[in-house]
Amino acid sequence: MLKVQNIKVSFDGIQVLDECALEVGEREIVVLLGPSGCGKSTLLRTVAGLENLETGKILWNEEDMTTVPPHKRGFGLMFQNHALFPHRNVEENIDFGLQILQLNRTERQQRVKDLLNMVGLEKFEKREIGGLSGGEAQRVALARSLAPKPRLLMLDEPMASLDRALRDRLLIDISNLLRDLNQAAIYVTHDHDEAFSIADRIAIMHEGKIERIGTPNEVWLDPGSEIAAQCIGHENFVNLDSSGNSALGKLGSGPGTVLIREDGISIVSESTEIVGEVKSATFHAGLTFIKVQVGDLQLSTSTATPVKISDQINLEILKTAVVPLR
Q: Which residues would be at the binding site for other proteins (CB under 8 A)? A: 48, 50, 69-72, 74-77, 79, 81-87, 96-97, 100-101, 128-130, 132, 134, 137, 144-145, 147-148, 150
148 or 324: CB nearest other proteins: 148
98 or 267: CB nearest other proteins: 98
174 or 219: CB nearest other proteins: 174
Least spacing, CB of residue 227 vs other proteins, in Å: 30
In this structure, the number of other CB atoms found within 10 A of the CB of residue 116 comes to: 20
130 or 306: CB nearest other proteins: 130
Give the torsion sign (CA, 131, 132, 137, 140). Answer: negative
Least spacing, CB of residue 82 vs other proteins, in Å: 7
* Cα separation, 263 vs 299, whole angstroms: 12
Least spacing, CB of residue 150 vs other proteins, in Å: 8
Residue 147: exposed, middle, or buried by beta-carbon count in 10 A (0-12, 13-18, 19+)?
A: buried
Q: Are strands 152-156 and 184-189 parallel, antiparallel or unpaired?
A: parallel
Distance of CA 171 to the CA centre of its chain: 12
Q: What are phi and psi of 38, to 5 degrees?
A: -85, -5
Least spacing, CB of residue 19 vs other proteins, in Å: 25
121 or 292: CB nearest other proteins: 121
**Helix (H) or strand (E) run with residue 137 in it:** helix 134-146
136 or 211: CB nearest other proteins: 136
CB of 10 within 8 A of CB of 200? no
Helix axes 164-180, 134-146, angle to 10 degrees: 20
CB of 210 within 8 A of CB of 38? no
Least spacing, CB of residue 97 vs other proteins, in Å: 4
Least spacing, CB of residue 174 vs other proteins, in Å: 18
96 or 289: CB nearest other proteins: 96
C-alpha pair distances (Å), 145 with each of 151, 153, 172, 190, 268: 11, 7, 18, 21, 52
158 or 223: CB nearest other proteins: 158
CB of 44 within 8 A of CB of 188? yes
Give the torsion sign (CA, 280, 228, 185, 93). Answer: positive
Least spacing, CB of residue 92 vs other proteins, in Å: 10
Least spacing, CB of residue 21 vs other proteins, in Å: 22
Q: What is the dihedral of CA 145, 148, 154, 155, to 10 degrees?
A: 10
